[in-house]
Amino acid sequence: MGRREGTRLYNVVDDVRREIQERIIAGLARSGILGMLGDFTEQDVPVEYTRDKAHGDFATPIALVLAGKVKRKPRDIAETIVDHMKIEEDKTRYIQCVEVAGPGFINFFLGRRWLEDVLRAIMEAGPTYGRSRTGHGRRILLEFVSANPTGPMNIVNARAAAVGASLANILRAAGYDVSTEYYINDAGGQINVLGTSCELRYLELKGEDVEFPEWGYQGSYIVDIARLAMENHDEQLEAMETEERAEFFRDFALSRMLADQKASLARFGVEFDVWFSERKLVDTGAVSSVIDILKQRGMVYQAEDALWLRTTEFGDEKDRVLVKSDGDYTYLAGDIAYHKNKLERGFDLLINIWGPDHHGHVIPTRAGLEALGYPGSSLEVLLLQFLSLMSSGERVKMSKRAGEFVTMDDLIDEVGSDAARYFLLMRNIESHLEFDLGLAKEHSQANPVYYIQYAHARISSIFRQAEEKGIELSHLGESDLSNLTEEAELDIIRKLAAYPDEVVTGAIDRTPNRLAGYALDLAGLFHSFYNSHRVINEDSDLTMARLALSGAVRTVLSNVLGLLGISAPHEM
């Protein structure tokens, strides 16, 4: 079965949809309704999966969509379309029968052929099954995590990392050209505080009596950095003047924190294409340049010894300060310059994943881009919500002093990277998440990620058994799939057929949690089938067909777990 060019790599469901759309257009044309619709094509006909098999395999609400234009009752339109489709006279590859239901839905019942074609398509496509050209190569810059380099990665950063990395994978699978970026906040006053904190701890380690300020960073990691500096640079530090030593600790502490953050992300399987420095942006004059452009465009004004941006002209509740009375730039000024830089690099869309504390920054940042002449739609912001760690039904206190972990590394140490990734992806990004530590550590079918991975490992075990029995697995592509007649088998194939659509929807809606749920559903269908049917049995033809089915499930589980950044083990 060859590939076809178009919006997506070969997908049987696309063929089914196109066949249904062609029949709908034919029915509209023969009935005379099409002539009333103007420029109306097959692409205007929505075709959806049915939730209930009793209502067929696919359905279209086209009659309800057209009722207003045609000035007829939806059910009357639906019956007219079906009467003129002539399914009985003009046989199709997939459609077996059609019926009108409810207020005017048209339900399509398909023959077995489409399910067999789905399995063969999966066997041929392998790791590319589910990939598409939906995005048409549109360039997207996805920025996420971007934590302040003043402390270890926390669990909110872990959620951002899991969501961002998976979303990047899903967007790429849907045909978008995605680059990932981490914005290093290394130009603000917090870096001076970080350096001073480390320097004071260094002096303490040297035996000096220093008063550590309340505004300093208190964590034990500060002492670790100070000790590292003393062990490797003590003689050099002894010879430094005060200002030189302060600059050393700023740079040294920053480099150590960034190295630690990169190491934590690497343990989590998260990498970035670009690490972008705010300090370099400021040093190149990009912020002052943006201020000049906004002045030239008449978008700023002076008031109260500060420079204000007219963000209210773009939907903000109040104007915002760009330059404070002391001459320092605000966070917004730097943010506008940074996003201008992104767009100048040729990206079609910027997607940021920000924490819940950034809610108030979205409209002003977008307004800043609009003030520069960029469309507001060029920036999309996903606001990540908080999460709570739960243990034995109780919320875990977020306090190092209480001995409870809060860092990304501690979470990985506690439950493992795979479980952490899955549990952090289980809910929509904009929903509060409760992370059940006890469940995440369970090696039981109650643990969703274990349940999914076990399905993959179980199928690998079946294939090892088949090889031991001398079954020629290289001939699976020649299996007679008509032997798959059990409803449990057909339900699995229907679920496999839906996978490409799940990827596209997950990409368009920015919902990695959708793929996490899909993987769990598919694993559940397979486990249920396995518990009541023997894959390897006395009937050699049925055995080959069920091995083909099992192999297709393993392929799709591997593909979806790959998008989620989770391993697909062959043994457990």
Q: Would you state the pLDDT for residue 51?
A: 83
pLDDT tens, 227-248? 999 999 999 999 999 999 999 9
d(CA 173, CA 65): 31
**pLDDT exceeds cutoff 60 at 130:** yes
Tokens standing for residue 37: 């619709």
Count CB neighbours of 520 within 10 A. 18
Angle at 318 between CA 316 and CA 322, to 5 degrees: 95
> Which of 437, 394, 395, 423 is CA-nearest to residue 520?
423
Measured CA to CA in angstroms, residue 510 lies from 67, 290, 358, 428, 515 at distances of 32, 31, 19, 9, 11
- Residue pair 266/161 in contact by the 8 Å Cβ criterion: no
- Residue 5, pLDDT score: 38
Reply yes or no on whether the pLDDT at 216 is more than 80: yes
Q: What mean pLDDT is predicted for residues 183-212? A: 94
Statement: residue 426 has pLDDT above 90: yes
Domains of the chain, earliest start first? 12-111 (3.30.1360.70), 193-267 (no CATH), 445-564 (1.10.730.10)
For 389-417, the pLDDT digits (tens) are: 998 888 887 654 343 447 999 999 999 99
Question: What single-letter DSSP state applies at residue 236?
Answer: H
Which residue has tokens 């919006």? 7
Q: What is the pLDDT of residue 2?
A: 36
Taking all residues of the chain, what is their mean pLDDT, rounded to a whole number? 94
Dihedral angle, C-alpha 56, 59, 64, 65, nearest 10 ° = 180
Q: What is the pLDDT of residue 65?
A: 95
| pLDDT for res 398 | 65
- Give pTM, 2 decimals: 0.93
> Is-contact 104 73, C-beta < 8 A?
yes
Predicted confidence at residue 134, as pLDDT, reads 94
Q: What are phi and psi of 106, to 5 degrees?
A: -110, 115
**Residue 275: alpha-carbon gap to chain centroid:** 20
426-447 average pLDDT score: 95
Parallel, antiparallel, or unpaired for β 177-184 and 379-383? unpaired
Give the mean model confidence (pLDDT) for residues 3-12: 53
Please give the share of the chain, as a percent, with pLDDT higher than 70. Answer: 97
pLDDT 10s digits, 259-315: 999 999 999 999 999 999 999 999 999 999 999 999 999 999 999 999 999 999 999
Confidence of residue 478 (pLDDT cuts 50, 70, 90): very high
Q: Grade residue 1 by pLDDT with cuts at 50, 70 and 90.
A: very low
pLDDT at residue 9 in the model: 59
DSSP letters, 2-27, are ----SSBS--HHHHHHHHHHHHHHHH
- pLDDT of the residue at 393: 87
pLDDT at 405 (0 to 100): 46
Residue 10 pLDDT grade (very low, low, confident, very high; cuts 50, 70, 90): low
For residue 305, what are the contacts with CB-CB under 8 A and spacing of at least 6?
A: 325
- β-strand partners of 99: 107
Average pLDDT on 86-98 reads 83
The gap from C-alpha 528 to its chain's centroid, in whole angstroms, comes to 28
Residues 272-286: tens digit of each pLDDT:
999 999 999 999 999
How would you write 383-418 as a 3-class SS string?
ECCCEEEEECCEECCCCCCCCCCCEHHHHHHHHCHH
Instruction: Examine the pLDDT at 4 and tell me if it is beyond 80.
Output: no
